[in-house]
A and B are shown apart, each in its own frame.
Chain A
């Protein structure tokens, strides 16, 4: 093995000739590769052996590759590599990516006022040799009077080569007056831009015409004032969207807020910022007609008066945290139906609460569902088993019982006429089960017992007892559950 390792360094020596036949033989017979683990161990051994020649392999890499490596570093760090060795002195100047992060949690934060940071960035622009910028990441606080400087930077960077832009700009507190920086128009009409992230106090406006981003694939908006439709209409090939709605949505009170998701969307995250106290306006029209959608995550409680949902045959992962009034619940049920092809479904508490008080509704069959996570407002084993009937491919089930420990008798949900099936095939694929907030009620116990007795390939069962239960009680639970005969021989039970 060691001989072959030495062999890997590309220098022609006479010993190579004698090794060829044995090498190719072993290659063909053992499916082409040396076991990876062995190879790595050998490597480690060699490097820790004393007297190993210290080969500087990184310097044999071409400049373009070294520059590529530097492009993954924050710009301050990349600039600092100029003191490493002669070769590295001017490498950073050819960087096409700028990562200028002066946010407070960044390790490169310059304390003592943003003026130092601004001078630093000016120095970067002055000293670099490359004429274009392909990626810009800028996160900082804007001090008084420096809006123009920042806009100049953005203007310098926008060009036919700009591919990614990330801006997280905020004003230092106690800034009165105009607390927004207007994004230069060229950014919103860039033909080359593929990824755009805007956070903070950036203000979007286009004077003549509209937003036109024909190459944009990734968009993230987390702005205080934004009319999302204004931007979304100009992104015909958008694949990823993350939209955060703040209290000042919608921007224009006279126009009804509408959100039309681009048809090409594959990943959608819609979040409503929840640290506001006042009521938010209703969303007039929400259209999620995106047949290519693979990932969906919605956190929303604004009333949606009209929602258009299409089918999502490619859905893989869906997380729903939606709270609607009784009148609007209808679209949630429609959404659930549209998500029936998903592999992962995660329904948070408010969603479950809404669904459980919804009028009678036929739950769709989730034929591909592998992973189900539910936060339930109260525990009802009958209902859960009925639910399991509709996802017989299920491999992972996680329940979180958010019921407050009380003596109120939970009522049977009046919804969900579920088709009855042969009870035995319900959990035929279940491998992992996790139960959080276990309160050891008779119902819960019955359910857990059912799974243990009936789950043929159950591998892991984790029960997290409710925090109000003491250690002794947990021990008792463990004893009780361990006595239940298990259908699966390899099942491991864990109670914490």
Chain B
């Protein structure tokens, strides 16, 4: 037995040794008390009686290479000595983890396979320190991670905050309500002004709308879903009784209004996650992405469509009817007026 030989040759080494086999097939001897610090090795020795000779060497998990094994044994050798103070242990650990990132990953993988919990925690903390406070690009650089997410997927965490369809419906309804109230207010102003002004403004509006249409279409080529929505709106447009400019304007304005108001609301809620100065804050773009209809169930979508149609009809109705409406809901309007003022919506479009 080689162990007995060892005892004869070096009588001062009275410790017992354990044979370990690493991933590459090489076998080495290790002091038993140090190796026993690793729960997996401990288990193998006690329950299966392995490791007492070269032939019955404990074969370690695949993640344990000779170099990682030597580092792990260094760690065990230091910590299995009972008399060390907490300060000593801490300073040893701090020095121990000063190595390259890849080395740390190898080591944590090996320590995990050996079930050496304290070392796993130590290295995990060290790796966490490398992640904390850094931008995504820096982290990808440090760990050599592939940048394999599309731009849209990167923005997803933000969108998903308001993914709940009920919240989105609610936002949409609020936007419509606001739009409605704003229209009433504008109508009131329109009635007070001369008819001519209206005429001119219609021309302006037409050019504006046409120009806007073109722009809008250009912007939205990347998002086919938006195009569909636009088409749907235009279909509705044609189906309405009066194809007045005001009608068009309001529908278009409805669109942009929707964008901005939804944008406002969602902007508020999504900004919660990422603030402007944070190191880890992806840029937030508020296109109509949030208004994707596909996420909403058909029943709710129908309801929304009905609302939109209803809304359009109300605008198209006669002046007397409008005034009637306006007068009856006057009280309501004044109370919500101040509320809508607050979010700057009217400021942008008034």
Contact = CB atoms under 8 A, between A and B. Distances in A.
Contact of A83 (B28, B100, B282): B282
A23 B66 contact: yes
A486 to B, nearest CB: 29
Given A32-B30, A65-B109, A56 B144 contact: yes
Interface in A103-137: 107-108, 110-111, 116-117, 119-120, 123, 126-127
Interface stretch (B40-48, B135-143, B221-229, B322-330): B135-143
Interface string A3-33: 0110111101000100010011001100011
Contacts of A43: 99-100, 103
A57 B106 CA distance: 7
Interface in A48-97: 54-62, 65, 68-74, 76-77, 79-89
A86 B109 contact: no
Interface stretch (A34-42, A149-157, A325-333): A34-42
A293 to B, nearest CB: 15
B195 to A, nearest CB: 47
B149 interface: yes
Contacts of B128: 69-70, 72-73
B139 A34 contact: no
Contacts of B66: 7-8, 23, 27
Given A34-B70, A68-B120, A119-B269, A86 B102 contact: no
Contacts of B153: 89
A73 B132 contact: yes
A490 interface: no
B346 interface: no
Contacts, number: 157
Contact of B105 (A24, A57, A87, A126): A57
A59 B145 contact: yes
Contacts of B29: 28, 32
B70 A32 contact: yes
A171 to B, nearest CB: 21
B25 A20 contact: yes
Interface in B269-317: 269, 271-275, 278, 280, 282
Contact of B28 (A8, A27, A54, A127): A27
A44 interface: yes
Given A8-B65, A59-B145, A82-B157, A68 B124 contact: yes
A47 interface: yes
A262 B127 CA distance: 37
A322 to B, nearest CB: 24
- Counting contact residues on chain B (CB < 8 A from A), the size range is 35 or more
B272 A117 contact: yes
Interface string B55-83: 00000001101111011011000000000
B24 A10 contact: yes
A36 B112 contact: no
B100 A44 contact: yes
Interface in B139-187: 139-140, 143-149, 153-154, 157, 160-161, 164
Given A8-B67, A44-B100, A58 B105 contact: yes
B140 A84 contact: yes
B26 A23 contact: yes
A81 B149 CA distance: 12
B144 A55 contact: yes
Given A10-B23, A123-B272, A79 B112 contact: no
A175 B149 CA distance: 46
Contact of B280 (A65, A72, A80): A80
A85 B98 contact: no
Nearest to A67: B124
B18 to A, nearest CB: 11
Contact of B102 (A24, A34, A57): A57
Interface string A160-176: 00000000000000000
A42 B149 CA distance: 35
Given A33-B73, A116-B271, A107 B133 contact: yes
B246 interface: no
A60 B101 CA distance: 13
B188 interface: no
Contacts of A316: 85
A20 B160 CA distance: 54
A127 B162 CA distance: 11
B232 interface: no
Contacts of B102: 47, 55, 57
B179 to A, nearest CB: 25
Contacts of A117: 272
Contacts of B245: none
Given A7-B24, A43-B100, A57-B143, 19 more contacts: A5-B67, A7-B66, A8-B106, A16-B24, A23-B66, A24-B28, A28-B29, A32-B30, A39-B67, A39-B71, A56-B144, A58-B105, A61-B109, A70-B131, A71-B124, A73-B128, A120-B272, A126-B164, A127-B160
Interface of B: 23-30, 62-63, 65-68, 70-71, 73-74, 85, 98-103, 105-106, 108-109, 112, 120, 124-125, 127-128, 131-133, 136, 139-140, 143-149, 153-154, 157, 160-161, 164, 269, 271-275, 278, 280, 282
| A-B residue pairs, 6 tightest by C-beta | A72-B128, A57-B105, A8-B67, A80-B280, A54-B144, A116-B272
22 contacts: A8-B106, A9-B65, A10-B23, A16-B25, A23-B66, A27-B66, A32-B29, A32-B30, A39-B67, A56-B145, A69-B131, A70-B128, A73-B131, A80-B274, A81-B139, A86-B146, A89-B153, A110-B275, A111-B275, A119-B272, A123-B272, A126-B164
